[in-house]
Amino acid sequence: MRVPRDVAVSVFLGQPQVSQLLSRASFRPDVDVRTQQRTRIRRERRRFVRAMLGVAGASVFGLLLLKAGSSPNLPQPLPITYTQNAVTQPSPATYIQNAVTHAQLLANASNIQPDQALTLNDPTVGQIVLIHLDNGQFVAYSTTCTHAGCQVQFDPSSKDLICPCHGAVYDPYNNAQVLAGPAPFPLQSIPIQYDSSTGNIYLNN
């Protein structure tokens, strides 16, 4: 403990001020080193806990962002495009050896002579014309004219499909391509199958 100067002088002069010294000593408490150490340790612990909580929170937030960024994208629906007056490219009848299953019977070959045609109405594709060509093949087309929607007819003399409304002419031997008239596109081809063992002609849905 440090002795004040005035107290030391009083001792030197033979008049010690012991009571004053004791009084000053009693009102000047010593700093408890252990208390300071505990306070400092507690303060450091609180700082450490706060730092760890901050690191943990940042880690959780980063993991959430990473998970959201790595989530697979849902497939987007493809856009649907519509083509005006689009028609399916025609194809001749498919010749098969075995009976066709899960197909709609249209007619039998014995009912259609070469260069003749049958007009049929199907609930799914509408009115169609089934033609027996003179080369032995069978073809089928929609009867709806691509010009104004009139119903075309097969002409045995010219072997063409003719629209009675505006004179459009189609070639059944060449995928119903337009031969004359205002029609902009060929007729829609109707896929069919021919069973040579029975002579049956089926609509190929």
Sketch the domain layout of the chain as residue ranges: 5-70, 94-203
Q: Count the neighbouring beta carbons within 10 Å of the beta carbon of residue 181.
A: 16
H-only helix segments in 71-163: none
Token readout for 43 is: 């303060």
Q: How far apart are CA 162 and CA 150, in angstroms?
A: 10
* DSSP SS3 for 19: helix
DSSP 161: E
Query: Which superfamily does CATH assign the domain made up of 94-203 to?
Result: Rieske [2Fe-2S] iron-sulphur domain (2.102.10.10)
**Under DSSP, is residue 131 helix (H, G, I), strand (E, B) or coil?**
strand
| Percent of the chain residues topping a pLDDT of 90 | 39
8 A C-beta contact, residue 122 and residue 107: no
Sign, Cα dihedral of 155, 159, 161, 162: negative
pLDDT at position 186 = 96
Residue 57, token pair as written in the block: 């929170």
Residues 6 or more apart whose Cβ sits within 8 Å of residue 81? none
- Asked if pLDDT for residue 93 goes beyond 80, the answer is no
pTM: 0.52
Whole-number average pLDDT of the chain: 76
Q: Kind of pairing, strands 169-171 and 177-180?
A: antiparallel
pLDDT of 94 higher than 60:
no
51-65, 70-84, 90-104: range with highest mean pLDDT: 51-65
